[in-house]
Structure 1
Amino acid sequence: MSNAQQSFSAGQTQGQTQAQAENFVQSTKESASAAADKANAAANSTGQTAEQNKDEAAGFLQQTGEQVKNMAQGAVDSVKQTLGMEK
């Protein structure tokens, strides 16, 4: 094989290797970007779920507080009635 053919073959191999490396780098960047997008979406979803759970817990506690207050008021009224202190 002549020097020209060897140089051509070496250049061709180098070009193919470089193209494959660039494709690999681009593919890796795209995969990393997709993974970051998925992680971001998961974080947002988790935050929204946590906020919703917090709101539901607050509503439950408020409702329970109202029930306890009403039960206490009923007990007070019952004692007043028993003792003849009602209006």
Structure 2
Amino acid sequence: MASHNQSYKAGETKGRAEEKTSQAMGTMGDKAREAKEKTYETGQAAKDKAHGAAESTKEWAKESKDQTGSYMSDKAQAAREKAQSGKETTGGILEQTGEKVKSMAQGAAEAVKSTFGMAHDDDVGKEGTGSDTTTYRRG
């Protein structure tokens, strides 16, 4: 049988082992808590950074949209002004062309009348008739 001294030493060794185990468990618990806190902080920082990036992207997109809208509005206004100018120019050209055609038609009509002796005395020699000859009347 084991002596009283051996039992005492075994109990003492067992007590020391339990204490060391308890200390090691406490240290591991502390390390686990520190790791958990660090992981939480890292996750929170990543979340904040992602939120900031999302907000920046959102602002950039809004500014781009506003700039694009403004650009397109400016281009549309310029196109409207150019179209209006073209319309006015075309209208002026058509009006001038119409006046020239009307004048030429009147001149041609007067020339025909003059040729056939149908012109009135006051029509003879008018500008645009193309003739300053005397008119012969039938009659």
Question: What interval of TM-score do these two structures reach, taking the shorter chain for normalisation?
Answer: over 0.9
Letter paired with 1:43: A
Q: How does 1:10-29 map to 2 (within 5 A)?
A: 10-29=21-40
Determine which structure has greater relative contact order: mean sequence separation of CA pairs < 8 Å that are 6+ residues apart, divided by chain length.
Answer: 2
Matched, 1:5 2:9: no
Q: How far apart, in 2, do the equivalents of 1:61 and 1:12 lie?
A: 72
- Could you tell me how far 1:82 is from its partner in structure 2? 1.0
Larger helix proportion of the pair: 1
Q: Deviations over 1:3-54 (max 9, x none)?
A: 1111110001000010000000000000000000000000000000000000
Over the aligned positions, Cα root-mean-square deviation in angstroms equals 1.2
Give the structure 2 partner of residue 41 of structure 1. Answer: 52
Count of aligned residue pairs for this structure pair: 85
Give the structure 2 partner of residue 73 of structure 1. Answer: 84
Percent identity over the alignment? 24
TM-score normalised by the chain length of structure 1: 0.93
- Could you tell me how far 1:83 is from its partner in structure 2? 2.0
Q: How far apart, in 2, do the equivalents of 1:80 and 1:9 lie?
A: 104
Give the gaps of 5 or more residues in structure 2: 1-11, 97-139
Give the gaps of 5 or more residues in structure 1: none
Letter paired with 1:2: T
TM-score normalised by the chain length of structure 2: 0.59
